[in-house]
Each structure stands twice: as structure tokens, then as C-alpha cells.
Structure 1
């Protein structure tokens, strides 16, 4: 099955305390976005489209190998994925959307997502179980109930979709509506989302501590 990877890389690095887009922050001497692109290609996608801030186009071009297509991202993740999705050839069968902020995702996770799509799934997300006690709280922070963690999962990326399904779901999403991830977009369109095993190494880099932990994994 032909597959294109989309990397959402237009976010700022403010929570990392960086003076550049988060995707250009370096991990072991390489920008986060380069790690994410390599993961997708090693896992089996045919090509990669990266949504980047317009002002940093040249910096991203210098950080990535030839053949990676760059598109101008939007003010939100949803807008950036829309922009990248518009550049995918209509004949491509599958689209995987990945976060540049998950640099150490093993290629095997990508392969599991692709295999599930090839097996007939319309939408696939990698997940991990919730191991901590998880509670709901009210507006002032008082615990109101404990949630059954046996039915809860932590969602990761890359999230994979039959191309036509994801494109139609984005077409149906009202302008200006922002959802937390692409699985939410297709679920809003009534599409069933399947899960495959994620990986603890696919942790998201959001704050400096996360980057430090990722550095330890690379250098150990």
C-alpha cells in the first residue's frame, strides 16, 4: 500500500525555552524533525511532507534531506495538517500523521500502523495503557471520581488513515474548529478508530525535562 507521512512541525518552542521552532531544537546534534522524518521512512512510508513555519522554511530545508517536501503550516496543528494533506497525491492510499516532537518513536510502530491499514482498518492509532490512578476533578480541583484505567489508553503518533477517509473528514470539519489530534477528526466524522501497540520511547518532547530524558536514551 502506498503511504505518505505528514509531520506537523510548525509549533513554537516556547515551552522548551527555545529561540526557534520546537522541531528545530536539537537532540544529540540533530533537529527533532530529522529524527521524526527518519522514523517514518524507516518504518515504510514512501515519502514525507513536513508542515513548517513560513519564516523558517530555509532552516528546515537545510535540516532535512533532499526529497522531503515542505509546506507552509498554519497557526494550529489542525491547519498545518490540512495544508500538508492538500499536497498529497490523490492516488496515495494511506496517510500517516506524525509529531516532530516524538523523535525517538521506533520505526516498528510505523510498520504496525501500516500493517493495520493494509489489513483493512480505516484509521489506526498507537496506544499505551494508563498505569497511574486517574481521577476526574471539578473546577476547583476536588476529586469527583476515579476513572477505570483498564479502559483508558495514552494515544501516540504516527496516526494512520486511509487517505480518502482522512481527506473527507477534514473537508467535513467546520472551519475554525480545532481538535486535539487527527483521530478525533475522523471520529467526529463517524469513523471507527483501531489501535495498535505504541512504545514508551515515543514519548513527546514538550518541556526541557522531556528533552533531557530523550538525550539520556540516545547517549546511554
Structure 2
């Protein structure tokens, strides 16, 4: 067993950087989609609110893996058909990393939408009304009053979303992305010890989630002291 880990362990660990990069890219997109989704849900325009609700409903109704495969295969076909029709480009390829980050970001953007919307609704309306009364522009009171309060209010839910997102990146291995899960599967097949390397992947993901949880809890305590 030690010999196998010594021989194939570095192969599994080589996917760690890609997993972390995919997670960071996906969470950045998720925050972006979440902010836009929350703005739509909080809009006074019924059409905008309907678009926001449709977004969150769509994500809840489609399995993550199905959506990822649709983006990877269907999105590539759609883009190339569009390029052929317009003559703007000949061939575009969606990489597994791009498909994974876009899909996971889109999925968790819906959960971030509810996170940011709930945090915004927790802010007393009187504070915003007072900011308007003293002549603050929307940009000013968002930056000085709303956003500093949204961060600590949203952080517990954001932490849960991040931890789930981190584990969801394992789905990208089915697209051929050489992340932890893909490399663990390949090491298991080559060594004929799949359980050993799946267990190794288990502990790597567990370590990532524990470190992330401690870091975000520390960030939450820092905001709580302000």
C-alpha cells in the first residue's frame, strides 16, 4: 500500500491546483451571478423579478451534471453553428475547465442570489431612507452602508455555498478535467486499487473543506468585532 501511494500519490495530488483554480473561478462567477440575481429579485420591476425567479427555479430543477454536459457539448455546438451562420469564426472549443467553471458558477449563482437577497432584506429600511434623506446617491449608500453590512450577514450562508461548491467541482472530472477526482480514478484503474485512491481523494477534499471552513470562520469573527 505504501509503495502504491508513493508511486501514484503525486499523480493524485497534481490535480489539487486545478481543483482549487476551478473552485475559485466558479465562486467568482457565482458571486457575480448572485449579485445580478439578487438585484433582479429585489427590483421594483415585475419583469425583472420574474427573470430572477426563473433563474433560481431553473437551477433547482436541473441536475448539476446534466447542466454541465449541456454547456460542454451543447454550448460548443451552439457557438460553432452561430459562427458558421454569421461567418465571424470557424471553430471555437469550450475547454473542460471553462465548461466546469461556467456551469458551477451559474448553478451556485442561484444560491448566492438568495444569500445576498436575504442579507439585503435584513438591513433596516430606515438606514437607506436616512441615507437618501441626507443626499447620498445609490452608489454612495450601497458602498458605505449596505455593502459593509451585507458581507457579515451573508458570510454564514456564503460559507455553506462555498463548501458545497468545492465538492461539486469533482463533477468536472467527467468532462476529462485532470482534477483530484479524475487523477484518483486514473490512479485507481492503473494500480487496480480504486478504493485506496478514492479514499485519498476523500481526505484531500476533507482537508480543503476544513481549511476553508476555518478561514471563513476567522473572517466572520473579524467582521463581528467591527
TM (norm. structure 2) is 0.24
The structure with the larger Rg is: 2
| The structure with more helix, counted as a fraction of residues | 2
Structure of higher RCO (CA pairs closer than 8 Å, 6+ residues apart): 2
TM (norm. structure 1) is 0.25
| The structure with more strand, counted as a fraction of residues | 1
